[in-house]
Structure 1
């Protein structure tokens, strides 16, 4: 039975305009002039109708480290934050998603838990080159690797030769490489035994480490032609290298994250390990450069890099940022935090939707996601841009009440999230509807994944 959403401000073709949108079988089947009917879902002039957020950088950690996060809590947090699609990273789960068997296990544990549509990255590690083809056939959206220690022993980093060989194979498979690019030797040369000052910690992972690693990555992109995406860019210096690569016509894209766009190192209290991430949050001038990089197209998208952990991992080091686990938990807050900061800077929310919905969907080839158009999935985010809220980590849906956003005062609030035409979150309440697994070739329900 078709249903309709009538909104006075729906984001269509890059601008907000009134429209009545018909949904059939989870898809947008028609977009017509605004003519609300009594039975429609009605979105009045106080709210904005966005396409759902597509978050391609999420660590859900299950199986193996489900006490850090899991599919149930993580995708519920996604729904509460307006994300209708997430792509799960291959590491921090045990086993990591470096074999087809590990991917099957991950789907088995996820199948009855997901609130939003969910896909998976594979991993590129030393020794698994022969696994990549089977992972592509099984539907991963690409492969992640590290140029330095990942922090977990079961997901080792790649050296330049392994990276080159991996890129050749990924190119042959017509897939995508996403890479954590920091130069290990440079970071080792700046290493500190301990640090409670966030600025001191940031200085121990300087922009030079990003630059050198990205330069190495681009050398191998040029040799192999492998489509490559640079993860969590944090510095102006890295932007310069990416710009050079794009000007040279290399098949590269790049992202940054909400915590780099909303926090600055000089304002973070000493010992506040909930802010620790790698690369680190940097200075106000670096933050301004990242916003310029988004506006000029050097950076293509914004994703959460939701990387949670429990209190033992985050706080057992007594404020020592060198020993504390790195990662910011922000999946539920990401869209609102970026939208609030963009509004302060006079940047239209239409651009935020491009960076957080359409562009991430484009990165992974989900042409049916991240946009409001006929034929697209009926994924919607209903947003109140004028509401004010103070974030309390204990109120978030994340498994552990730990977040850099705890205490942040933000303008804007997600009021409802609709996935394939079904409301999964509204006014603080969740529906029992579960999401669907996504692959590079087809969509299939979790029940079909066995």
Structure 2
């Protein structure tokens, strides 16, 4: 048996950044051994492994491949917005070795086994990273949930407000209760777009819809807090004190007012977690010009005090993961010329920016967040959320040989014309970031090298095995 090895003076594993040499097999795609020191090529310490390939990446840092658990790949149906090939290429060039695809905005959405089979067929031979799948939770598919679990979805996402697409209607409290009863004994997760809209807070006749502040104020924090309170109260009422494996997750938390609610749920030992997104940690309302509809997302980006408070929620362990929520569309749907925030599609394009964005922000934040903590937020906890933490998100013996090789000392500037995702429009355009992903390894194979480009063929796989407990 022939093996490969990669070594550096800085490897993040076991909650430390330390020298290590990692032995892995391309045949199995797994890590075979980890030696806690940087070992030179030809050293007797490596002789027993029959090393075929040796790679010393010092002074660069070896991290586990990132897991982005919130990505809209949109295929089939809306592949002019994004697709498996372009979306996973963007991910792998940024050190993201696994993405979990959201059930919308594909047509049809991932709400039945039939629809899921269409999605899996569309993904064949197009994946540059590994891909798992969330199923959809809509009012008419309660009987489809158990079959979808058997086919390998990681859990189910529902909306508590209109999703923006007709084929994915919102659910209400009664349906939520029925789904909990249906899935109480299942090892799965329910995820929620946690906004409950109040028509009285929406736009009024004559209001300027090109003004960002008017858009932000039209979706106040109460939209989120009302939804989060409903989720917590329902879970508490239905499951508290039971032995259920059912878990719950708030996607893209955007308001600081939700943090004490999530904290209270943790104190009650309710199985509820929350994520936020890179854009909520990066941007603030005062920096967004009127008509700049490429910043539109729901919930909206809020003021700078709110942004800082989200960082505080991360440091206190209330927000446990950070994801892209890559939700692109065609530039025409962003309606930049007219700049109408009501008419424009909402969503931020950013998959693959994960590591340099987080590293840059950690340097700017008053209380620096280390790369070790970034690994927790963007690798470990996202893999736990997706139920793949038995193979992804960590550098451990027996886990997939997924690595991001990162140089924190080089700067890069994001440009619309150079991004890998399909539609070249992102609010990160022009932003200077600290750090560059030099190489990305997926199950032992170099899928991206900054000097050589992408691998000649896609080697990503679909992840369909049952969730890890």
Q: Could you tell me which residue of structure 2 aligns to residue 263 of structure 1? A: 283
Q: Could you tell me which residue of structure 1 aligns to residue 39 of structure 2? A: 35
Q: Could you tell me which residue of structure 2 aligns to residue 97 of structure 1? A: 110
Q: Is 1:365–1:440's contact at 8 Å kept on the other side of the alignment?
A: no
Q: 1:368-409 deviations in whole A, cap 9, x for unaligned?
A: 111111111100001110111110011011100011111111
Residue 263 of structure 2 aligns to a residue whose secondary structure is: helix
Partner Cα separation in structure 1 for residue 85 and residue 99 of structure 2 = 13
Mapping 1:90-169, distance limit 5 Å? 90-169=103-182
Counterpart of 1:70 (choices 80, 83, 94) is: 83
Partner Cα separation in structure 2 for residue 439 and residue 147 of structure 1 = 27
**TM-score where L is the length of structure 1:** 0.95
Q: Could you tell me which residue of structure 1 aligns to residue 94 of structure 2? A: 81
**TM-score where L is the length of structure 2:** 0.92
Q: Is 1:171–1:227's contact at 8 Å kept on the other side of the alignment?
A: no
How far residue 219 of structure 1 moved from its aligned partner, in angstroms, is: 1.4
Q: Could you tell me which residue of structure 1 aligns to residue 227 of structure 2? A: 213
Please tell me whether residue 7 in structure 1 is matched to residue 12 in structure 2: no
Name the Cα RMSD after superposition. 1.5
Q: Could you tell me which residue of structure 2 aligns to residue 189 of structure 1? A: 201
Counterpart of 2:191 (choices 171, 175, 178) is: 178
Q: Could you tell me which residue of structure 2 aligns to residue 437 of structure 1? A: 462
Q: Could you tell me which residue of structure 2 aligns to residue 391 of structure 1? A: 414
Q: Could you tell me which residue of structure 2 aligns to residue 446 of structure 1? A: none
Q: Could you tell me which residue of structure 2 aligns to residue 447 of structure 1? A: none
Partner Cα separation in structure 1 for residue 266 and residue 64 of structure 2 = 28
Partner Cα separation in structure 2 for residue 112 and residue 52 of structure 1 = 21
Residue 294 of structure 2 aligns to a residue whose secondary structure is: helix
Q: Is 1:170–1:176's contact at 8 Å kept on the other side of the alignment?
A: no
Partner Cα separation in structure 1 for residue 336 and residue 255 of structure 2 = 29
Partner Cα separation in structure 2 for residue 399 and residue 275 of structure 1 = 18
Residue 257 of structure 2 aligns to a residue whose secondary structure is: helix
Q: 1:148-188 deviations in whole A, cap 9, x for unaligned?
A: 00000000000111111122223232311000000122x55
Residue 363 of structure 1 aligns to a residue whose secondary structure is: helix
Q: Could you tell me which residue of structure 2 aligns to residue 416 of structure 1? A: 439
Partner Cα separation in structure 1 for residue 188 and residue 18 of structure 2 = 37
Q: Could you tell me which residue of structure 2 aligns to residue 202 of structure 1? A: 216
Q: Is 2:201–2:220's contact at 8 Å kept on the other side of the alignment?
A: no
Q: Is 2:113–2:147's contact at 8 Å kept on the other side of the alignment?
A: yes
Partner Cα separation in structure 2 for residue 105 and residue 400 of structure 1 = 23
Aligned pair in 2 of structure 1 residues 256, 314: CA closer, same or farther (>3 Å)? Answer: same
Partner Cα separation in structure 2 for residue 339 and residue 171 of structure 1 = 39
How far residue 36 of structure 1 moved from its aligned partner, in angstroms, is: 2.4
How far residue 127 of structure 1 moved from its aligned partner, in angstroms, is: 1.2
Q: 1:314-361 deviations in whole A, cap 9, x for unaligned?
A: 126711112110000000212211111012222211111110000000
Larger Cα-atom Rg = 2
Q: Is 1:234–1:256's contact at 8 Å kept on the other side of the alignment?
A: yes
Please tell me whether residue 351 in structure 1 is matched to residue 373 in structure 2: yes
The alignment of Structure 1 onto Structure 2 pairs a total of residues equal to 441
Q: Is 2:111–2:135's contact at 8 Å kept on the other side of the alignment?
A: yes
How far residue 439 of structure 1 moved from its aligned partner, in angstroms, is: 1.8
Q: Is 1:190–1:204's contact at 8 Å kept on the other side of the alignment?
A: yes
Partner Cα separation in structure 2 for residue 12 and residue 380 of structure 1 = 11
Aligned pair in 2 of structure 1 residues 171, 131: CA closer, same or farther (>3 Å)? Answer: same
Q: Is 1:50–1:353's contact at 8 Å kept on the other side of the alignment?
A: yes
How far residue 222 of structure 1 moved from its aligned partner, in angstroms, is: 1.3
Q: Could you tell me which residue of structure 2 aligns to residue 249 of structure 1? A: 269
Aligned pair in 2 of structure 1 residues 111, 188: CA closer, same or farther (>3 Å)? Answer: farther
Please tell me whether residue 231 in structure 1 is matched to residue 245 in structure 2: no
Counterpart of 1:335 (choices 331, 334, 355) is: 355
How far residue 23 of structure 1 moved from its aligned partner, in angstroms, is: 0.3
Q: Is 1:194–1:323's contact at 8 Å kept on the other side of the alignment?
A: no
Q: Could you tell me which residue of structure 1 aligns to residue 46 of structure 2? A: none
Partner Cα separation in structure 2 for residue 2 and residue 442 of structure 1 = 29
Aligned pair in 2 of structure 1 residues 111, 370: CA closer, same or farther (>3 Å)? Answer: same
Q: Is 2:126–2:458's contact at 8 Å kept on the other side of the alignment?
A: no
Q: Is 2:125–2:458's contact at 8 Å kept on the other side of the alignment?
A: no
Partner Cα separation in structure 1 for residue 61 and residue 288 of structure 2 = 32
How far residue 194 of structure 1 moved from its aligned partner, in angstroms, is: 4.5
Counterpart of 2:426 (choices 394, 398, 403) is: 403
How far residue 223 of structure 1 moved from its aligned partner, in angstroms, is: 2.5
Q: Is 1:20–1:36's contact at 8 Å kept on the other side of the alignment?
A: no
Q: 1:48-81 deviations in whole A, cap 9, x for unaligned?
A: 1110110110000000000000000000000011
